[in-house]
Structure 1
Amino acid sequence: MKYTRIFADSDGTSHFEDRDIDLAEIDFVPPAPSLFLSAFQQASQFAFCRIPAGWFGDWHPTPHHQFFFFLSGELEAEVSDGEVRRFGPGSVVQLEDTGGKGHVTRVIGDEDVLAAVVQVPD
């Protein structure tokens, strides 16, 4: 399993980084068969988010360290090194660019974006 990390380097320039999630086979819900699970991480709080079609967020840093789990719709993000990526249903993005220029975000198409947002400790 993979996810995308958005972070700012020491100069404040934001970048994308692809990361792998290690999954280990575990007997998590006996007597059901084993499944594959990552290590648990601390979370501060979570919320659900609807970003309306046509929404545009000019350059901004993320207000908290957080994960976005995209459920529907499509969103495009640009980081300050110039790279642009699109995220749709099933995408997971870790936002850590709390300083620097941040990133640009826009909803693509006519469908609202629905996401679960999980904030994590800094």
Structure 2
Amino acid sequence: MSDESRKIAVQRLYHDESGESHFVDEMLEVVAQDFAPPAPPFYVSAGVPAKQAVYLFLPAGYVGDFHPAPRRQLMTLISGDLESRVSDGESRRFVPGNTMLVEDTEGKGHWTKAHTDCTMIVSQLE
């Protein structure tokens, strides 16, 4: 891999044609750019049009039964300990700094539990 590009890990939650939801680990390319001159170049991904960004707070013990996402969104956990389960049965635990691309806007959706108070920033995509 060259010094001009790198890859970062992204977790994606999506639904298939039968409505089942799944997790998949993907690698997202970031490319060195002059993004904020006069700061030196750093690595930036391709842009994704967004509708809005909101902060989300889930209190410890919150459980959201299976539901589809209201729209495609990027969710980054800022603080707390969160678990999400997809309809194929896989469950994943999220810690601060984890980001998930949520695309299960149809079908059975996903289940969510906040093990501790959780704060997230959610970018709702167009």
The answer to whether TM tops 0.5 is yes
Deviation, structure 1 residue 79? 0.4
User: TM-score normalised to the size of structure 2?
Assistant: 0.90
Partner in structure 1 of residue 109 of structure 2: 102
Match of 1:8 in 2: 15
Task: Give the corresponding residue for 1:56.
Answer: 63
Q: Which has the higher strand share?
A: 2
**Per-residue deviation, residues 54-78 of structure 1 (Å, max 9, x unmatched):** 0001111111111101100011011
Shift of 1:29: 2.2
Letter in 1 for 2:70: P
Number of aligned residue pairs: 119
**Is the aligned partner of 1:79 residue 2:86?**
yes
Partner of 1:114: 119
Percent identity between the aligned chains? Answer: 43
Cα deviation for residue 32 of structure 1 reads: 2.1
**Structure 2: gaps spanning 5 or more residues:** 1-7
Does residue 67 in structure 1 map to residue 74 in structure 2? yes
Q: Which runs of 4+ in 1 moved over 6 A?
A: none
Q: What's the TM-score once normalised by structure 1's chain length?
A: 0.93
In structure 2, what is the Cα distance between the partners aligned to 1:51 and 1:94? 18
Distance, in Å, in 2 between the alignment partners of 1:26 and 1:106 is: 38
Tell me the secondary structure at the aligned position of residue 82 of structure 1: coil
1:38 counterpart (45, 52, 55) = 45
Which stretches in structure 1 are left out of the alignment for 5+ residues? none
